Amino acid sequence: MVGDQRGVTLTIRLVECVPNFSEGRDKKVIDAIADAIAAVSGVRLLDVDPGASTNRTVMTFVAPPELIVEAAFQAISKASQLIDMRKHRGEHPRMGATDVCPFVPVTGVSMEDCVKLAEELGQRVGAELGIPVYLYAEAARQESRRSLADIRQGEYEALCEKMKSPDFQPDFGPNQFNAVSGATVIGARHFLIAYNVNLNTRSKKLANEIALNIREAGRAKRDERGEIVKDAGGNTVKVPGTLKECRAVGWYVDEYERAQVSINLTNFEVTGLHQAFDEVSRQAEKLGMRVTGSEIVGLVPMKPMLAAGEHYLRKQGRSTGVPEEELISCALQSLGLSELSPFKPAEKIVELTVAAPGKHLRDMSLTSFVHELASESPAPGGGSVSALCGSLSAALSSMVANLTFEKKGMEPLRPEMEKWAREAQALKRRLLYLVDEDMQAFNAILEARRLPKGSKDERHKRDIAIIAANCRATIIPLTVLKTVPELLHIAMEMVEKGNPSSLSDAGVAGLVAHTAGEGAYFNVLINLKEFGESEEEVTFNHNCRVEAEATIKHVRLQAEKIRALVIARIS
């Protein structure tokens, strides 16, 4: 539909998929499965980790939700063609060629979204490949199937007999034993962060003492005589540890010549990096040790890194309304993540590893951007400049808020200033993204116009592509325009309550926000001229025009109030 705005993505949406395949020795098989994943356009294969003794390979890839199922299906399909479970031997528990395939929300998606993806994949695998599928973890339809270990009990060798039971019918696929492929467990789970905290000791015993104190499972309870306490059923009574969603063990690492507390954080929304680090530090101090740093094994999402940066800035009494880069830097230094080897955010943080390749306007130097703008190329143009003006307004407001936060004598305003700084930073990031989106939208129009138009069918497809591209090119400046009232509201707060020494900065924030609004309004109007007379195009045109007119009217009133107030106060 013309009015459908789903094609315009204003935030990154990423899902991680971590399938485990029952082959860890045959490189040709492993490479073929990996190639099947990488062949899906828009999917990023991040890691292939084979194990010879386990005869198992774990692959990690990320993609937007609309692409992830296809990549997972192609991998499972390829594994079903190349792996024969009748011949498989290995140390790791398994029951299928593709043993387990979880979806993990990374950014811009919910757990509920991942459950739907698991169900979609399960249905396809069962119907198209004839493989029995069991849903687990957050996607489980039965409480008894939440645990992977419970489903996999008895492994492949017990599967044929287990499937004869009415209690073990698959969620998808045939209710009969597939001797070649076995069965596949598909689900949705939280991101698991493998995190090791370094200690200034060689003692594995002391490291394990900390692990027992912090892990959710805790340790066995003992009575005054030191004997393990049992309940009425003869089960060991446990004393839970201090951290939820935390698994931990202490070990000694020869390579580092020190002991570590090795931690798996199974839900960083419950227990984050900073909470684990601080608790291990507290426990270590009680035992006469100290924490010297930590390391993240594999990848980590952006969110727990930002949360850690915010946590340590707050402990320093500083504002958290700062750029993401500063939050990441604070987290890196506070957690000592580069003690054992350099922590490179671009290689370790999921969202940064999958940044779209190619030149981004937002990453250019100021001089390079201006030169690019001044070239004969029609893009970037006024739309990108309007979005840039909006980001400059947000940056100025954030600056004034942070200066007010730090200003002696203005301490009562700190909570409010921090809130405005954080909101301004979020708007800044969004608008910087739209700087590039506007140029890409213009390029999409050119690409649509270049499509072949020899046959009737080709002309029809070209017309549809042009309309879709025009919609996108209209929606992006309209989105910029709709952010301007928020920018002006924050700018007014800075004019009225901010550090008096920064009054002119707050005023300029209002001026460039107004410019962003007027520029975006122009771009909406000129793009609306490209629509035809079909009912859908007319409706889209009308709705966008009404919204743009109402917004720009509000913007002009707000901007004039700010300008008049700044002039009055300066005078």
Is pLDDT of 8 > 60? no
Helices (H) and strands (E) in the chain, counts: 17, 13
Q: Distance (Å, rounded) from C-alpha 84 to C-alpha 82?
A: 7
CATH architecture assigned to 14-188: 2-Layer Sandwich (3.30)
Mean pLDDT of 409-437: 95
Contact in structure between 131 and 173 (CB atoms under 8 Å)? yes
Choosing from 92, 360, 489, 554, the catalytic residue is 92
Q: Tokens 């645990």, residue?
A: 147
**Taking CA 381 as the corner, what is the angle to CA 379 and CA 383, rounded to the nearest 5 degrees?**
115
Mean pLDDT of 85-102: 93
pLDDT value at position 360?
86
User: Has 514 been annotated as catalytic?
Assistant: no
Alpha-carbon torsion 473, 475, 477, 479, what sign?
A: negative
Select from 563, 480, 562 the least CA-distant residue to 527.
480
User: Has 171 been annotated as catalytic?
Assistant: no
For residue 155, give the 3-state DSSP assignment: helix
Q: Look up the CATH number of domain 361-570.
A: 1.20.120.680
How confident is residue 358, by pLDDT bands cut at 50, 70 and 90?
Answer: low
Q: How does the average pLDDT of the chain come out, rounded? A: 92
pLDDT value at position 517?
97
Residues of the chain with CATH 1.20.120.680: 361-570
How confident is residue 324, by pLDDT bands cut at 50, 70 and 90?
Answer: very high
Q: Peptide bond before 415: cis, by omega within 30 degrees of 0? A: no
Q: In the beta sheet, which residues pair with residue 184?
A: 133
How confident is residue 11, by pLDDT bands cut at 50, 70 and 90?
Answer: low
Q: Which of 265-269, 334-338, 448-452 has the highest mean pLDDT?
A: 334-338
Q: Go through 521-555 and write b for each residue having 16 or more CB atoms within 10 A of its CB, e for each that does not.
A: bbbbbebbebbeeeeebeebbeebeeebeebbeeb
Mean pLDDT of 237-257: 91
Mean pLDDT of 449-478: 91
- pLDDT tens-place string over residues 496-520: 999 999 999 999 999 999 999 999 9
Q: In the beta sheet, which residues pair with residue 230?
A: 236
Burial of 257 (0-12, 13-18, 19+ CB in 10 A): exposed
Rounded to the nearest 10 degrees, the angle between the axes of helix 456-497 and helix 503-528 is: 160
Select from 83, 95, 72, 111 the least CA-distant residue to 151.
95
Is pLDDT of 4 > 80? no
pLDDT value at position 133?
97
> What CA–CA distances, in Å, run from 156 to 50, 108, 126, 153?
20, 36, 17, 9
Mean pLDDT of 443-459: 90
- pLDDT tens-place string over residues 474-488: 999 999 999 999 999
| Residue 343 CB coordination number (10 Å) | 23
Alpha carbon 442 to its chain's center: 27
Q: In the beta sheet, which residues pair with residue 56?
A: 51
Residues of the chain with CATH 3.30.990.10: 14-188
Q: Tokens 């990423």, residue?
A: 14
Q: Tokens 């890839």, residue?
A: 61
pLDDT value at position 378?
84
Pairing of strands 20-21, 56-63: antiparallel
Is pLDDT of 2 > 60? no
Contact in structure between 411 and 317 (CB atoms under 8 Å)? no
Tokens of 247: 């698994």
pLDDT value at position 51?
84
Q: Distance (Å, rounded) from C-alpha 171 to C-alpha 126?
A: 9
User: Considering the entire predicted model, what is its pTM?
Assistant: 0.81
**Taking CA 80 as the corner, what is the angle to CA 76 and CA 86, rounded to the nearest 5 degrees?**
135
Is pLDDT of 180 > 80? yes
Mean pLDDT of 487-494: 98
Q: Tokens 């591209």, residue?
A: 469
pLDDT value at position 10?
47
pLDDT value at position 230?
85
35 or 227, higher pLDDT: 35
Tokens of 103: 């979806």
Share of the chain above pLDDT 90, in %: 77
Residues of the chain with CATH 3.30.70.670: 193-353
149-153, 210-214, 278-282: least confidently modelled range: 149-153
Give the HSE-up count for residue 325: Cα atoms under 13 Å, Cβ half-sphere.
2
Q: Distance (Å, rounded) from C-alpha 156 to C-alpha 90?
A: 11
- pLDDT tens-place string over residues 299-322: 899 999 999 999 999 999 999 999
Residue type, 400: V
Is pLDDT of 3 > 50? no
Burial of 506 (0-12, 13-18, 19+ CB in 10 A): buried
DSSP state of 303: H
Select from 353, 504, 324, 511 the least CA-distant residue to 432.
324
Alpha-carbon torsion 386, 387, 390, 391, what sign?
A: negative
3-state SS of 177-191?
Answer: CCCCCECEEEEECCC
pLDDT value at position 357?
57
How confident is residue 235, by pLDDT bands cut at 50, 70 and 90?
Answer: confident
Reading phi first (left if > 0) and then psi (alpha if -120 to 50, else beta), residue 245 is in left
Alpha carbon 464 to its chain's center: 32
Tokens of 163: 């499937």
Mean pLDDT of 25-31: 96
Domain covering 193-353, topology: Alpha-Beta Plaits (3.30.70)
Choosing from 99, 278, 436, 438, the catalytic residue is 438
Q: Distance (Å, rounded) from C-alpha 510 to C-alpha 269?
A: 37
Q: Distance (Å, rounded) from C-alpha 132 to C-alpha 473?
A: 45
Contact in structure between 268 and 320 (CB atoms under 8 Å)? no
Q: Distance (Å, rounded) from C-alpha 260 to C-alpha 262?
A: 6
Q: Distance (Å, rounded) from C-alpha 474 to C-alpha 531?
A: 10
Beta strands (DSSP E) in 162-279 are: 184-188, 193-199, 219-220, 238-239, 246-253, 258-265
